[in-house]
Amino acid sequence: MTTTLITGGAGFLGSHLCDRFLAEGHRVICVDNFVTGRKANIQHLLDREDFRFLEHDVSNPFEIDEPIRYVLHFASPASPIDYLELPIQTLKVGSLGTHNTLGLARAHGASYLLASTSEVYGDPLVHPQPETYWGNVNPVGPRGVYDEAKRFAEAMVTAYHRVHGLDIRIIRIFNTYGPRMRLRDGRVVPAFVQQALEGSPLTVFGDGQQTRSFCYVSDLVEGIFRLLMSGVTEPVNIGNPQEMTILDFAETIVRCTDSSSEVSFHDLPVDDPKTRQPDITKARQLLGWEPKVDLAEGLGKTIRFFQGVIEAGKPEVS
Ligand code: NAD
Ligand code: UDP
């Protein structure tokens, strides 16, 4: 049986990856310390024999006493409010956590996939962003803890490839949304959906003219799977190129939820990128991948999920 180890497997993306790799017939080892993830995301998997959970902070070294074929490093706070609250943990998991999991992959002869991010492009001066763009990041700004951790992680992963011949993949993930996001993680999708469902004003930061491009989680998971199974060792963008302003997005959420909420304007966070749109030419050409789920369909599924969470009054703790 092929065994895949997923760090951050109890988080939003990680838990969907656990589901996907189990569905592909892999044994899955999920490693998480619940700093931003939840046991509820993997509760349905805990009794399976082909699933193993290990509660551990991957910034500290660890060993696994069984063969591993793939290591996917997804552990990291990912929402701006999470990484602003956890700046040192974010830097540690991107640096020490990456080093530890690279060492683990090397010891097992496993292939290694790093969850990188569009944030490596910072507040981009090139639009849309191709993988060849080196970015515009403020290392000492509040977002620097995340952006620079991921940039360091990319450099470290590439060094393991060059020096040790490790088989690597680097995915640069653009804003992805879907069920199992935390309602209160501060990212724009859960924030706006909750506000719209509760009839409170949608908190638009700045004038709302900054843009983002939103990818539904099932499309992302397909892109990750294809990249892992490919031989592509350079970074690949995965995201949905459909770009919109945050103000338009707020209006879309109000419409999709049939809400009477208004919009309220608030200060723009420091270094908030003004534009973001993936150039996915490489993913199209090398992986034959492109997104399939349009915004209306993805938002419909996501809104139903958050409605369930709100109605059940489920606590957002592990
Ligand atoms: P998330 O917060 O839901 O998941 C992160 C998971 O990592 C959580 O379960 C958390 O408990 C775990 N974790 C964090 N630090 C850890 C540590 N030191 N040891 C063990 N576990 C730890 O966030 P997400 O949106 O699922 O993001 C997952 C990954 O994908 C992150 O690496 C993030 O940078 C990357 N990413 C996500 C997006 C997106 O739009 N969702 C975009 C770009 C990159
Ligand atoms: N945003 C907003 N209101 C909110 C949360 C976010 O206007 O309540 C904006 C934020 O300033 C950014 C965009 O929405 O321009 C996306 O924010 P998110 O935190 O989801 O992710 P980012 O792309 O900034 O990492």
User: Alpha carbon of 272 to those of 68, 151, 205, 248: distances in Å?
Assistant: 39, 18, 9, 17
Residue 314 is predicted with a pLDDT of 60
What does residue 238 show for φ and ψ, rounded to 5 degrees? -130, 125
Closest CA to 178 of 293, 288, 276, 285: 293
Q: What is the mean pLDDT of the chain?
A: 97
- C-alpha of residue 76 to centroid of ligand 1, in Å: 4
Q: Which ligand does the CA of 245 lie closest to?
A: 2
- Provide the pLDDT confidence category of residue 313 given band limits of 50, 70 and 90: confident
Residue 285 has pLDDT above 70, yes or no: yes
Mean per-residue pLDDT, 297-317: 88
Taking the centre of ligand 2 as the mean of its atom positions, its distance from the CA of residue 260, in whole angstroms, is 21
Residue 159 has pLDDT above 60, yes or no: yes
Quick: pLDDT tens for 242-253: 999 999 999 999
Task: Give yes or no for residue 318 having a pLDDT over 50.
Answer: no
Mean pLDDT of the region 255-278: 97
Residues with CB under 6 A from ligand 1: 7-8, 10-14, 31-37, 57-59, 74-78, 93, 97, 115, 117, 173, 175-176
Respond yes or no on whether the N-terminal peptide bond of residue 128 is cis (omega within 30° of 0). yes
pLDDT of 315 > 70? The answer is no
Predicted confidence at residue 316, as pLDDT, reads 62
Provide mean pLDDT across the span 256-272.
97
pLDDT tens track for 90-137: 999 999 999 999 999 999 999 999 999 999 999 999 999 999 999 999
d(CA 3, CA 103): 17
Contact 212, 175 (CB under 8 A): yes
Residue 144, pLDDT > 70, answer yes
Task: Give the mean pLDDT of 165-181.
Answer: 98
Catalytic residues: 146
Contact 52/4 with Cβ under 8 angstroms?
A: no
Give CA angle at 88 (227, 4), nearest 5°. 30
Whole-structure pTM value: 0.98
Q: For residue 283, what pLDDT is reported?
A: 98
